[in-house]
Amino acid sequence: MTTRAMQVANIAFLLDRLAADTPPNQQIRELTENALEAIERRQKAGDASEGVIRWDVDWDNLKRTGEYKLSITDNGDGMTSQQMLDYLNALAVQGANQTQGISQNFGVGAKITALHRNSHGLVYQSWHDGKGSMVKLHRDDKEGVYGLASFELSDGPDWTPRIKDTFKPSVIDRNGTKVTLLGISEENNTCFPPEGRGMNWLITYLTNRYFRLPENLRLQVRVLTQNEEDWPSEEPSASTKTFNFQTVAGSKALFDQYAEAKGTVSLATADAHWWVFADPKEDSKKMSTRGGRTCKVGIVFQDEVYVHLTPPIARRILASFGIVFGADHVVIYIEPKKSLEVRADTARSRIIINGEDVQEANWFEVWGAEFREKMPPEIKAKIDEIMAKTERDPDGKTRERILERLQRIRDLLKPTRYRRDPQGTLRAAGEAPGGASGSAGDTQREGTSTGGGRRGGTSSDDYLADLVESDGELARQVVVSTKEPSVKWISRADGTREEGELEDLAAEIVGDSLSGDMVKANRDFRGYRDLLGFFSKEFNPGGDPAINRKIVEYIEEWMEGQLVEAIMTVRNLTNGRTWTPSDIDRALCSHALTTVMMTRFHVVERVKRSLSSDISKPSKAA
């Protein structure tokens, strides 16, 4: 049997479509990666001299055209004119590394990302064994295709004309490559940052993108000023002021430089690299010029960072790692081990583990649970230091009073659940957390395996939710024990609430809304401040600190009681059908808990009664 190979009828459409799914700066990564691979090949071939990669203005192009164009130059192994024809004018070609594969090089990155965003042209100048040639890739708008442009020379058109040695960059000896990004038009200044980015955009991007870089390599970026009118008209010499090269070392080196403690926790399927910072605000400010900050979570694959999570998402993930306080002091980057099937998507913008997107497959929950068990003492010390500031009830008297009140309505706080029982007199239905529900005709013995890996029978957590008249399973009613969450009050003043955390919100459950056993309540929330002002005006116009402490104590006690009661009763609604975990998430989110905290009548009445019995209200005359 013979096969006629499939062909691409409209490669320009495919390239544009793939490029639309990539972030704007992806072209920087692809061209940098090509340079890194070229240097690695040269060093493996026996030339162990230092590798250099420079992002700079194409000063030769500026002399010829008067236009500023961004370029990248490396002193890797370079390409011959024939190699440029073979490698650059084909999509998904194997390339010089001969390593094309699903988890390795794709041969499509720069052609998708850089060529689409530089339709006016990508100019490759490459030297191999001292001989230089050049090609120009561009989009032919008349034909609607991408490909090589011919150079119209005096003796006729040429696809790969020779380059004079006078145009060879200083970092290249006998081998190396320079790529110039011409943008979408002759006038397009490709040295300017994408919209909304500062002039440090290249340093910021490369530092964030690369976790670690090879030791025998310098990755440099020319730093330009905001005002183009001040830019030099020719390549400047080194100075102590502006337009110098800055070296990029990667995010690991940046965090190592500013952290007060750092380390790596070995998990079953990943390494968790962690850093603790003494002063998050100041350290973030120092790192900001290179794109660094604290309170960050990332995923590392093949020395690159593919996932960058910052607050508020990073705080939620760090909480699942056990860092419920002090998240602004911590950075954690996860590096999956080779035992997992890890790869990047075609655009090199997402990480896929065992066929699923890393963020959609709840890998952070798996890693977080294991990290909590192996919590580094430096992180634990920071958490304990901040948690100590939230403790206003060391003897537990306030919580004892809250639980005592809830005890009076204990029966209303217990969820109604039904356990499968062949001898039961009730019929119940619903998705059971610990087993698969069945129809009335199904019969299962204890320990019988059911579909989906769930256990059948009567395991301790194998509960159904609702009574039904028919078509349910025989069951009996059971009582599921509950645990009241604790409440910790936080504020910016005492350093327990981090910048941006619970901004103008009253409270949030730490971790999972169904099982989280701690609630953070915000003393800076204006609803709380309004109550404090209301009672201070009535009971403490003189500003007595002792009376103020008593007012705070009663306000927080009664607001805590409302929070705990609301959380426990809403959790009881869970039945797997009409109230799924996602429904509970919405009902107990920080906005919903703010609604709970904004109910005033009950709190005002109770606090006023308590204060009236403890404190003599000042006379109006006073």
Comparing 597 with 18, which gets the higher pLDDT?
597
pLDDT band, residue 593 (cuts 50/70/90) = very high
Q: Helix or strand or coil: residue 572? A: coil
Model pLDDT for residues 1-24, shown as the tens digit of each residue: 777 666 666 677 777 777 777 777
The string of DSSP letters for 60-127 reads HHHHHHS---EEEEE-S----HHHHHHHHTSTT--TTTT-BSTTSB-S-HHHHHHHHHTTT-EEEEEE
pLDDT at 450 over 90: no
Q: Looking at residue 412, what is its pLDDT? A: 62
Residues of each domain in the chain carrying CATH 3.30.565.10 = 11-228+242-248
Q: Looking at residue 310, what is its pLDDT? A: 94
Question: Can you name the residues that pair with 435 across neighbouring β-strands?
Answer: 432
pLDDT band, residue 390 (cuts 50/70/90) = confident
CATH code of the region 11-228+242-248: 3.30.565.10
**Are 175 and 129 a contacting pair, CB within 8 Å?**
yes
Q: Looking at residue 196, what is its pLDDT? A: 67
Q: How far is the C-alpha of 379 from the C-alpha of 323, rounded, in Å?
A: 8
CATH code of the region 251-389: 3.30.230
Percent pLDDT > 70 in the chain is 81
CA-to-CA separations, 82 to 85, 112, 132, 134, 612, in angstroms, rounded:
5, 22, 12, 11, 92
Q: Looking at residue 103, what is its pLDDT? A: 37
Q: Looking at residue 436, what is its pLDDT? A: 40
**Are 137 and 159 a contacting pair, CB within 8 Å?**
no
**Are 361 and 302 a contacting pair, CB within 8 Å?**
no
The string of DSSP letters for 491-559 reads -TTTT-S-TTTTTT--EEESS-TTT--EEEEETTSHHHHHHHHHHHHHH-TT--HHHHHHHHHHHHHHH
Residues of each domain in the chain carrying CATH 3.30.230 = 251-389
Q: Which helix (H) or strand (E) holds 134?
A: strand 131-140
**Are 325 and 276 a contacting pair, CB within 8 Å?**
no
Centroid of chain to Cα 178 = 33
Strand bridging mode 217-222 / 51-57: parallel
pTM of the model: 0.77
**Are 426 and 413 a contacting pair, CB within 8 Å?**
no
For 149-178, give one letter per residue: b (16+ CB within 10 A) or e. Answer: eeeeeeeeeebbeebeeeebbebbeebbbb
pLDDT at 571 over 80: yes
Tokens standing for residue 237: 């010499």
Q: Looking at residue 459, what is its pLDDT? A: 37
pLDDT band, residue 434 (cuts 50/70/90) = very low
pLDDT at 143 over 50: yes
Question: What is the rounded average pLDDT of the residues 491-498?
Answer: 92
pLDDT band, residue 44 (cuts 50/70/90) = very high
Question: What is the rounded average pLDDT of the residues 244-259?
Answer: 96
Q: Looking at residue 211, what is its pLDDT? A: 97
Question: What is the rounded average pLDDT of the residues 570-596?
Answer: 86
pLDDT at 191 over 80: yes
**Are 330 and 323 a contacting pair, CB within 8 Å?**
yes
pLDDT band, residue 552 (cuts 50/70/90) = very high
| Distance between first and last Cα of the chain | 105
Q: What is the mean pLDDT of the chain?
A: 84
